[in-house]
């Protein structure tokens, strides 16, 4: 059976209402931005190239338009296919099998204490922690769920695709190494603010290969939806009171976001180059500024952190743990030095 052409895969996915975008040939990362976007400071959501049919900024440019898909893959027939998970109402569990040191048992299943008498000998990857989570909840292991689309990755991992039955509930993306928002160690979540590599996509490391006969995502199991809520994966305003504001009238968050937006855009622009872009310095500056705005009451801490995490993940998706350390440290420092943007009060 011949290997399907990437454009055919992209159009099949788009026919289901799932926005797609090109990946660099032989890679799992988005196709490169145009030259102007590499040097221009702007947020991906405000990029004028999207209106002109360009693929700049990865999943921010994703589309279901058949003609545009034909144009993109005519320009780069060997491009892989990425799916923007949020607009597609997809929640994908990305189970890793990386050779890493196993952390303390307190970090294996965030929020679930694992007693010392539980024997963890042999635990080595996300396959083990996902199975452990399912066992704790008395549920079947999602890695063995043959009712849904599952895709084996070239590195030996597994993508488990599910459909969100409640699109009004927006799940956030996360990494399994996160100390703040994680489902399980070495189990990433791809949802809003993220993309997933489509099955049959070829990279230099190998091919993303469907497992079994199922080619459609099943509905997200209720128990997994409950776990995602428990672990902070629902994008909503925090229930804790907002920081105290200076009594000078009603603050306008638009001024704060206007101040923060170009700093976030500088972080996003680092995606064009893997190194030599002062990424750490730019992320630190954006997070420190956001912290100052949080401390002054112009932004909610959770909103600021989400904005920073999304920008950092876009630019450096494979160093999530390091991104979080930078964000948390700079946010904390900024909160202790609150400041108000000009014209921030009516």
The domains of the chain are located at: 6-84, 90-193+204-230, 253-335
- Cα 96 to chain centroid, rounded: 15
Closest by CA position to 299, among listed 344, 269, 329: 344
Least confident of 64-73, 77-86, 111-120: 111-120
* Maximal CA-CA distance, the chain: 70
- Cα 95 to chain centroid, rounded: 14
What would the 3-class secondary structure string for the chain be?
CCCCCHHHHHHHHHCCCCCEEEECCECCCECCCCHHHHHCCCCHHHCHHHHHCCCCCHHHHCECCHHHHHHHHHHCCCCEEEEECCCCCEEEEEECCCCCCCCCHHHCCCCCCCCCCCCCCCCCCHHHHHHHHHHHCCCCCHHHCCCCCEEECCCCCEEEEEECCCCCCCEECECCCCCCCCCECCEEEECECCEEECCCCEECCEECEECCCCCCCEECCHHHHHHHHHCCCECCCCCCCCCCCCCCCCECHHHHHHHHHHHHHHHHHHHHCCCCCCHHHHHHHHHHHHHHHHHCCCCCHHHHHHHHHHHHHHHCCCCHHHHHHHHHHHHHHHHCCCCCCCCCEC
**Assigned architecture for domain 90-193+204-230:** 2-Layer Sandwich (3.30)
> How much is the pTM?
0.70
Strands 187-190 and 150-152: unpaired
Q: 63-91 in b/e burial notation, b at 16+ Cβ within 10 A? A: bbeeebbeebbeebeebbbbbbbbbbbbb
Binning pLDDT at 50, 70 and 90, where does residue 2 land?
Answer: low
Task: Check residue 29 and give its pLDDT.
Answer: 93
Q: What is the mean pLDDT of residues 197-209?
A: 96
Q: Convert the pLDDT of each residue in 8-22 to its tens digit.
A: 999 999 999 999 999
Phi, psi of 185 (to 5 degrees): -60, 135
- Cα 170 to chain centroid, rounded: 12
Tokens standing for residue 195: 């993309």
Average pLDDT, the chain: 86
Binning pLDDT at 50, 70 and 90, where does residue 249 land?
Answer: very low
Whether 237 shows a pLDDT value over 60: the answer reads no
- Under a CB-based contact definition with an 8 Å cutoff, are residues 95 and 130 in contact? yes
Half-sphere exposure of 287 (CA within 13 A, CB side): 25
Binning pLDDT at 50, 70 and 90, where does residue 346 land?
Answer: very low
């Amino acid at each position: 059976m011949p290997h399907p052409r990437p454009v055919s895969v992209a159009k099949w996915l788009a026919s289901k209402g799932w926005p797609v975008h090109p990946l660099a040939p032989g890679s799992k990362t988005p196709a490169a931005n145009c030259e102007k976007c590499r040097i221009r400071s702007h947020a991906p959501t405000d990029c004028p190239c999207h209106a002109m049919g360009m693929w700049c900024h990865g999943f921010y440019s994703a589309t279901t338009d058949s003609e545009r898909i034909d144009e993109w893959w005519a320009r780069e027939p060997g491009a892989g296919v990425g799916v923007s998970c949020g607009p597609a109402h997809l929640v994908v569990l990305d189970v890793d099998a990386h050779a890493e040191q196993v952390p303390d048992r307190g970090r294996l299943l965030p929020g679930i204490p694992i007693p010392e008498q539980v024997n963890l000998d042999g635990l080595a990857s996300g396959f083990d922690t996902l199975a452990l989570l399912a066992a704790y909840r008395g549920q079947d292991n999602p890695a063995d769920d043959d009712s849904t689309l599952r895709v084996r990755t070239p590195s030996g991992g597994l993508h488990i695709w599910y459909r969100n039955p409640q699109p009004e509930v927006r799940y956030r993306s996360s990494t399994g190494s996160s100390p703040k928002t994680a489902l399980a160690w070495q189990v990433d979540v791809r949802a809003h603010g993220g993309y997933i590599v489509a099955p049959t996509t070829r990279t230099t490391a190998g091919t993303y290969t469907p497992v079994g006969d199922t080619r459609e995502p099943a509905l997200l199991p209720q128990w997994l939806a409950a776990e995602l809520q428990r672990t902070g994966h629902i994008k909503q305003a925090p229930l804790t009171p907002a920081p105290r504001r200076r009594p000078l009238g009603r603050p306008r968050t638009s001024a704060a976001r206007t101040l923060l937006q170009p700093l976030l855009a500088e972080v996003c622009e680092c995606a064009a180059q893997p190194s030599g872009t002062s990424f750490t310095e730019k992320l630190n500056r954006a997070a420190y500024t956001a912290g100052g705005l949080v401390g002054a009451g112009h932004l909610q801490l959770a909103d600021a952190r989400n904005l920073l995490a999304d920008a950092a993940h876009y630019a450096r998706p494979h160093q999530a743990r390091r991104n979080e350390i930078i964000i948390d440290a700079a946010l904390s420092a900024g909160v202790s030095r609150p400041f108000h943007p000009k014209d921030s009060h009516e």
